[in-house]
Amino acid sequence: MLRRSSLADNILDPRAQAMYKYSFPWEVPFVTDRALPKTSIADRPTVGHPSAAAALGTPPVGHPSAAAALGTPPVARPVRVGIAGATGFAGQELLRLMARHPHARITAAMSSGTSGSPRKLPALDRIWDGAVVPFDADVLEDATDVVFLSLPEDVAADVAPALFDRGVRVIDLSGAFRLRDEAIRQRWYPRTRTPMVEPVYGLTERHGAALRDAQFVTCPGCYPTAALLALEPLAEANLLAGDVVIDAKSGISGAGKTPSERTHFSECHGSVSAYGVFGHRHGPEIEQELGRAVNFVPHLVPLDRGILETIYARVTPGTTMRHVHDVLQAAYATAPFVRLRGDTLPEIKHVVSTNFCDIGWRVDEPTGRLLMVSCLDNLVKGAAGQAIQNFNVVLGFDERAGLLT
């Protein structure tokens, strides 16, 4: 049984309190900032320009009399957010971005371990001045409405279902629950047990409708995000023919914060190496969502962050550059974080520290060969940024909140 939110207790108008208490079975009521224009989710209502209130002679949003003047409930307090695994690369990125989110307040930031002293993060000084404390599920339950899990897979496999069972909305950045087939999942994530409720696969641009009001979201991996955003629309349009090869290159942060020989500076500086050939867990994730086999080969490159995937495929006879453009444009016409570059192939430096995925392509029409390049920042669009994008869609906020606004 999901616990009832206390958010309704903070609504300004007592009559509106009663309406919220009995109208919403979920934990956090949908909240809309009228200063943020809506985009991307087709059936959301369009919100007017922020100057509309002045033009209409109505009080500004947030003023106690605004609800009565506009005939709508007043804005509720920010959503209480917890971040578990806040000292990792993706966890720190979550803290940096969520600290400025207009509809959220960070009420808990925890490491993945259960012991240790509170820890300040100097890189976030004056952005977020709290301290990261040891993990405590009871505190997360009591102090938060939504929890982001940026934990190792084995830890998330236990923590995510436990929090969900306690009525906490969970957005999981680990890979523990991405694979739906139990036999395949047991090969790659043996600690994970089948959850009581199947989580929504949080590739935001492709599953926006399923994400609305979801209680449990599993965010895609960084490599699959870049590959699927490029390929899924073409697969759905039946434009792909034959083998698909994904030659993927990632910066060192994609390997996580735990040091290893492979991520040692002396080993990776000035070098590029393939790894996980026919043995990387993101391969079956891409195949699951794409519905076809792929040859996926990841590489480690001496960069802090960023992913560039060069994708090779064949298209059905008669397919042109224009056909590919039209399919991708139809898929992402209202997607604020997918930038279509056409035959101008994207580069990592164009997307670093942003939530954008840039996609370029070329078609050799006489031979039917297709080349695509998909770029993103593995810590933002490939992790923290996409998780926040999902948070926004789940709770009915503008998809760009905290990321572009």
Q: What is the mean pLDDT of each run of 10 residues along the chain (405 residues)?
A: 36 35 32 38 36 36 40 69 96 96 97 90 92 94 96 95 93 97 94 90 97 97 98 97 96 74 76 91 97 96 95 96 98 98 97 98 97 98 98 97 90
d(CA 170, CA 22): 23
- The one catalytic residue among 219, 222, 268, 375: 222
- Which DSSP letter does residue 7 get? G
110, 140 Cβ separation under 8 angstroms: yes
pLDDT at 143: 94
Check residue 66 and give its pLDDT. 39
Max CA pair span of the chain: 69
**pLDDT value of position 253:** 82
What span, in angstroms and rounded, lies between the C-alpha atoms of 34 and 17? 20
Dist. CA 202–CA 392, nearest whole Å? 12
Other Cβ atoms closer than 10 A to 381: 27
Beta 357-364 vs 295-300: how paired, if at all? unpaired
pLDDT of residue 43: 40
Domain over 79-198 is classified CATH 3.40.50.720 = yes
pLDDT of residue 270: 85
Sketch the domain layout of the chain as residue ranges.
7-70, 79-198, 222-378
pLDDT computed for residue 257 by the predictor: 65
Q: In what order do the strands lie in the sheet with 169-172?
A: 104-110, 79-84, 146-149, 169-172, 216-218, 200-201
Q: Are strands 240-250 and 200-201 parallel, antiparallel or unpaired?
A: unpaired
pTM of this prediction?
Answer: 0.80
CATH code linked to domain 222-378:
3.30.360.10
Residue with tokens 């509309």: 52
pLDDT of residue 190: 94
Residue with tokens 């003047």: 69
Which residues does 244 contact at the CB level (< 8 Å), separation at least 6?
A: 231, 290, 292, 293, 294, 295, 311, 312, 313
Whether 222 sits among the annotated catalytic residues: the reply is yes
